[in-house]
Amino acid sequence: MGVIMTIKVKNIDINYIQYGKGEDVILLHGWGQNIEMMDPIGKQLEKKYRVTILDLPGHGASSEPLEVLTIYDYCEILQEFLEKLDISNPTIIGHSFGGRIAIIYASKYNTKKLVLLGAPCIRKETKESLKVKILKKLKKIPGLNKFEGFAKKHIGSRDYRNASEMMRKILVNTVNEDLSNCARKIVCPTLLIWGRNDTEAPLEDAEELESIIKDAGLVVYDNGTHYAYLEFLLPVCKVIKTFI
């Protein structure tokens, strides 16, 4: 990786690396991840582009926010971060949670091109599982409220269980926001890269996302999961290079 640097944005120390020369490409990682998860793509692009990868607030070596952020707050932090680095009209590549931030950014600010890697955008109401219903009922029984913490840990996703108390609150605050309206406002060319077996961002959501973004195309990798961009790194990077 390149030289690690730090810049303060809204009282948060943002850890980032920058390497290569050329037009700007920004890489945004998923929830619970860090710079290293996006560096393999960056290394494939550095010969023709200036690559910037940051640890999002509360991830990697970036400091944890002191207040509960929304997904829109993360977008504004990204915008201020880019302003401080004198970067405008970048190409943004975002995986999962980073892709969600990228969707909002591209709907509000000049973005040359957008690449979304398994980025959950469409949020539909889902029926609670039997396990969730049972745990919720148990919590209402007198004397069993002491198990509330246990219930939360076992109801929640792996990301939720692994997060700090502040980051858990932020995850709850950001994960269920439907970004369809933001996606409809995106005017830059957009490439969607998905794994057919992605269970965290189902392919049907990608297909819907493709239909609502004005200028979008979808590339699907059979047998790919939520991390198709790493599972098929070289072909994915070849597609990205052609696109940008």
Confidence of residue 148 (pLDDT cuts 50, 70, 90): very low
**183 and 223 co-located in one domain:** yes
Quick one: DSSP state of residue 146? G
The DSSP letter of residue 96 is T
Same domain, 166 and 188: no
Q: Is 50 within 8 Å of 90 (Cβ atoms)?
A: no
Cα angle value 121/27/166 (rounded, 5°): 65
Pairing type for strands 91-95 and 113-117 reads parallel
Please state, rounded to an integer, the average pLDDT across all residues of the chain.
88
Question: Please, what is the end-to-end C-alpha distance for the chain in angstroms?
Answer: 22
pLDDT-derived band at 164 (thresholds 50, 70, 90) equals confident
**pLDDT score at 176:** 82
Domain end among 139, 159, 176:
176
**Whether residue 24 is found in the same domain as residue 58:** yes
Is the model's pLDDT at 153 over the cut of 50? Answer: no
- How confident is the model over 115-129, as a mean pLDDT? 76
Q: Higher model confidence: residue 171 or residue 89?
A: 89
Q: Do 10 and 56 fall within a single domain?
A: yes
47 class by beta-carbon count within 10 Å (0-12 exposed, 13-18 middle, 19+ buried):
exposed
Q: Residue 64's Cα: distance from chain center in Å? A: 17
Are 218 and 149 members of one domain?
no
Say if residue 135's pLDDT is above 80: no
Place of tokens 């039997």: 130
The more confidently predicted of residues 159 and 29 is 29
Q: Which residue range(s) make up the domain with 148?
A: 124-176
pLDDT band, very low/low/confident/very high, at 127 (cuts 50, 70, 90): very low
Say what percent of the chain tops pLDDT 90: 77
Report the number of distinct structural domains present in the chain. 2
* Residues 212 and 125 sit within 8 Å (Cβ to Cβ): no
